[in-house]
Amino acid sequence: MKSYINEFLGMEKPTDYYSGLLSDIEKLNKEHHFITTLNKDISYEKDGRLPFTVKANICVKGFETTAGSKMLRGYLPPFNATVVDKINASGRFSFLGETNMDEFGFGTFGLNTEVPARNAFDNDYVAGGSSSGAAVATAMLKYHVAIAESTGGSIATPAALNGVVGFTPTYGAVSRYGLIDYANSLDKIGVMARCAEDAKVAFDTIRGRDRYDTTCSVETIGNKKRKKLFVIKELMEKAEEPVKSAFERLLDRLGGNYEISEIDSKIMDKAIAPYYIIAMAEASTNLAKYDGYKYGFQNEDTNRKYNDFFTDARINFGAEAKRRIILGTFIRSESVKDKYYSKATQVRGMIIREMRSILEEGFIISPALPIATPKIENASKLTPTQNYAMDIFTVPPNLGGFPHITFPYEYHDGLPLGAQLVTGHANDYALFDFVSEWEELFEYRFRHNLGEI
Q: How far apart are CA 192 and CA 440, in angstroms?
A: 19
Which residues, other chains included, contact 282 with Cβ-Cβ below 8 Å and sequence gap of 6+? 181, 182, 183, 184, 185, 186, 328
Which residue out of 3, 69, 94, 130 is catalytically annotated? 130
Catalytic residue among 3, 55, 175, 366: 55
Active-site annotation holds for 154: yes
User: CA–CA separation, 55 vs 45, rounded Å?
Assistant: 25
Which stretches of the chain score pLDDT less than 50?
449-451
For this structure, is 55 an active site residue? yes
Question: Using CA atoms, how far apart are residues 229 and 262, in angstroms rounded to an integer?
Answer: 9
pLDDT of residue 449: 43
Q: What is the pLDDT of residue 195?
A: 94
Strand order in the sheet with 165-168: 35-38, 93-99, 50-55, 145-150, 188-193, 165-168, 404-412, 415-422, 363-367, 228-232, 259-263
Q: State whether residue 98 is helix, strand or coil.
A: strand
Which ranges of 255-383 does DSSP label H, i.e. alpha helix? 272-287, 306-314, 319-332, 343-359, 376-379
| pLDDT score, position 295 | 86
Do 91 and 80 form a contact (C-beta atoms < 8 A)?
A: no
Q: Considering the chain, what percentage of its residues have pLDDT values greater than 70?
A: 96
Looking at residue 450, what is its pLDDT?
A: 40
Q: Which of 182, 389, 175 is nearest to 285 (CA)?
A: 182
- Which pLDDT score is estimated for 305? 81
Cβ neighbour number for residue 91 with a 10 Å cutoff: 10
Contact present, 292 and 313 (Cβ < 8 Å): yes
Tell me what pLDDT residue 302 has.
72
Is the dihedral angle over the CA atoms 117, 122, 126, 128 positive or is it negative?
Answer: negative
CA distances from 54 to 98, 128, 129, 179, 406 (A): 5, 16, 14, 11, 19
pLDDT at 17: 82
Of the candidates 69, 94, 132, 154, the residue annotated as catalytic is 154
Dist. CA 28–CA 453, nearest whole Å: 9
- Residues facing 415 on adjacent strands: 412
CA 259/CA 8 separation, integer angstroms: 37
pLDDT of residue 301: 72
| Contact of 98 with 149, CB cutoff 8 Å | no
54 DSSP 8-state letter: E
